[in-house]
Structures are given as structure tokens and as C-alpha cells.
Amino acid sequence: MKTFELYFVDAFASKPFTGNPAAVCLVEYEGGLSEDEKQKIATEMNQAETAFIQLLNPGDTFEKASKFKLQWFTPVMEVNLCGHATLASSATLFRVKGNNNDSIKFQTRSGRLIAKKKGDCIAINLPINRCNSELPQDTDEIVQLVVGAHKPIDVQFAPGANSEILVRLPDDVSRTEFEAICPDMHGLLQVYNFKGAPGVILTVKGNKDTGAVDEGGRPFDFLSRYFDPWNGIPEDPVTGAAHCVLAAYWQKILGKETFYARQCSKRGGNLEVCILDGDRVELAGTVAVIFKGTIRL
């Protein structure tokens, strides 16, 4: 029988049961889990993503190593990039396993990613994903099914590690109206019926007058929501990879490189976002480790 440590971690969470939950599984050696077993575990966990952290070298430990392999699986497929599960993985190493390195590096499908301690937060460094106006087929229909009666003022496409359609609503849309939008999930699945279809980022400019402030009254630069039913995620609670698109987009609009953002799902989460050296995005947030378990195969 093979056994593996498993953790549930809420990422970008101010307290338990907020932010975005991810399962994190520790794999001690190459081949410890087959790709098929990883997918089955992710399907069983039924979270937006399940992360698998693997040791790279003989003699490495989760407590002392500074480099690891990292993979992410939705309930239906492996994905190229997942921000919140990277944050959850980093928290598992730093907070649970007691890894004393100031920063750790992950080898992933999207290249090398870096996580570091940053006060009470953990910061992760991801590749930026810039938008353009070359939209995929059926974008108009997708947008209509997402926003309903609202009229977008901009639609863009980001073709990076995770392809995304970005939809911006008018600045006078209130936070209450924004959070009440209810996409037609059944209709969306009729337009695309394949894994790997682009997700949809919905965003609006932050404004005190429209209620875009946190509990302490600090204003958000922008709000967002994220929908990806084609890849097993009807609405994602807090999406790190989507903010690699949002940072690039709002940089052009607001003329700045640091942002305070809110993803307005039912669970919700706040993010500190910073563009680094033009082609990287740093996302910082707090985490809550919910429980530990063991997988037996």
C-alpha cells in the first residue's frame, strides 16, 4: 500500500472557509504516483485544483529542499498554471512542513515559479499574460451568456499559459450588481464542449461610490469574477492565474503597476498584485490550512 500526505488549504483567505480551497498532495519520489493516479485523486478531491508537490533529488526533504516539481489538476484535466494552488502548496511547505528557506522554486509546465515569505503573507511570482483584440470564435455568444443584460465596454483575449477571454463592464456597475451576475452555465457548455476552452474573466474598475471597498474601507483598484465550466470550474472562488491577465490589462488602463484587487465569488478573496520587471506578476495573500489527511492506494 502507498500512502501520501494530503492537505486542504484555503488560499487568498482572511480566515477559514474563505478564499479558494485547494488540495495539496506530497509525493516523495518520481513515479510515486502515475499521471492517471494524480487525475483520479484530483477527481476524487473535486476541488478547482489539486496540487502535487514532488521532491526532485535523492536525500531531499519537504522540510529542507528549496526546489520542487509542481503539477496542478482540475477534476477533469491537468492545467498549465494555477495561482491559488501554488500559494496553497507554498503554505504547506512553509507553514506545515516548517521549510526554513526564505524562498522556494517550483518546476512547472509554465516554467520556474518562485514563492517567498512576505510578512504574514506568501507571495508567488507568475508569468504575465497580456491581452490582445484577436478574439476566438464564438466570443460574442460566450460574452452574452456570461453578462446577460449588461453591455461590456471592452472584450480582450489573453493567449498565454491559460487562455482567457477578458470582459470589462462599465465603471458605473456597482459591486452589488457585479456580484449578482449569473452566467448561463448550461448555455456556455453548449457553445464549447471540449477541455482546454478559454476561461472567462469578468472585471470592472474599482470605485468607492460603487461599493468597491474592503471591510476597513480601503478601495479596490478593480473587481473580478472567473468562469470556466469547460474545465470543471463553473465559478472559481479566487483565481491567481486570472490576475496575471488582469494586472496587464489594468496597467494599461490605470497607468500603475501595483493593485489591490477583489475577486467577488461567494467565498471571495483579496489580493495584492504587483507587476515585476514588465513580464512577471507577484501575487501576495494570506492562507488558512484547514486539515491534514492521508491517501492510501
For the annotated catalytic residues, the residue numbers are 49
- Cβ atoms 199, 162 nearer than 8 A: yes
DSSP 28-60: -STTSS-HHHHHHHHHHHTSS-EEEEEE-STT-
Report the DSSP pairing between strands 222-227 and 258-263: parallel
Supply 216's cell numbers.
476597513
Q: Give CA–CA dist 9/288, Å, rounded.
A: 6
Is 199 buried (19+), middle (13-18) or exposed (0-12) by CB count in 10 A? buried
* DSSP-derived 3-state class of residue 77: coil
CA 78 to chain centre: 14
Helices (H), 64-207: 83-91, 139-147, 175-180, 185-191
